[in-house]
């Protein structure tokens, strides 16, 4: 079959694209809560809401091995209280880099808040 390598390459390209598109969609109850309570206020620079949301997240670390969860969120809440955009975003990024994939894998049905 002369067309087969091309077919394989296309299939691979399509599944990679699908994987990327799915990356930004929340799969957990926490993720669904994050969108209106973290994503929207971050976009609108609503620091009062961000401070409340980050404090709530800090007070509810997930069960299991998430040792930096509370301290990252607490630092984010403190940055939001000072209207510090970079500091607030840093806490989003740190937690997502460390724990997003792990949380999605381990706690798909954990209730939040
Ligand atoms: C202490 C941990 C933690 C902090 C801090 C945190 N997040 Fe999240 N966030 C998560 C986890 C875990 C998920 C994955 C859950 C999912 O997608 O179902 C997530 C998912 C999301 C999602 C859902 C879509 C996606 O990208 O997966 C948005 C939007 C989001 N966070 C925004 C924010 C913003 C904005 C901030 C900072 C203001 C923030 N988060 C801070 C842990 C955190």
Domain ranges of the chain: 26-106
Which residue lies with its CA nearest to atom 37 of ligand 1?
92
Phi, psi torsion values for 85, nearest 5 degrees: -60, -50
Ligand 1 pocket, 28 CB below 6 A?
yes
Asked if 37 and 51 touch (Cβ cutoff 8 Å), the reply is no
Question: Over its length of 113 residues, how does the chain's per-residue pLDDT go in tens digits?
Answer: 566 666 656 565 655 555 444 457 999 999 999 999 999 999 999 999 999 999 999 999 999 999 999 999 999 999 999 999 999 999 999 999 999 999 999 999 999 99
Phi, psi torsion values for 65, nearest 5 degrees: -100, 80
Q: Which atom of ligand 1 is nearest to the CA of 42?
A: 35
Name the residue of 94, 96, 98, 107 whose CB sits within 8 Å of the most ligand 1 atoms, as the mutation to test its pocket.
Answer: 96
The Cα angle at residue 9 between residues 8 and 12, in degrees rounded to 5 = 85
- 3 state SS of 17: helix
């Amino acid at each position: 079959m002369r067309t087969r390598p091309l077919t394989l390459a296309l299939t691979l390209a399509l599944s990679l694209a699908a994987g990327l598109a799915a990356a930004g969609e929340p799969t957990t109850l926490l993720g669904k809560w994050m969108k209106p309570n973290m994503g929207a206020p971050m976009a609108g620079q609503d620091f009062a809401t961000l401070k409340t949301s980050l404090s709530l997240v800090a007070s509810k670390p997930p069960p299991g091995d998430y040792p930096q969860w509370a301290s990252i969120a607490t630092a984010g809440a403190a940055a939001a209280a000072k209207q510090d955009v970079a500091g607030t975003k840093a806490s989003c990024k740190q937690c997502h880099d460390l724990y997003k994939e792990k949380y999605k894998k381990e706690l798909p049905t954990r209730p939040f808040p």
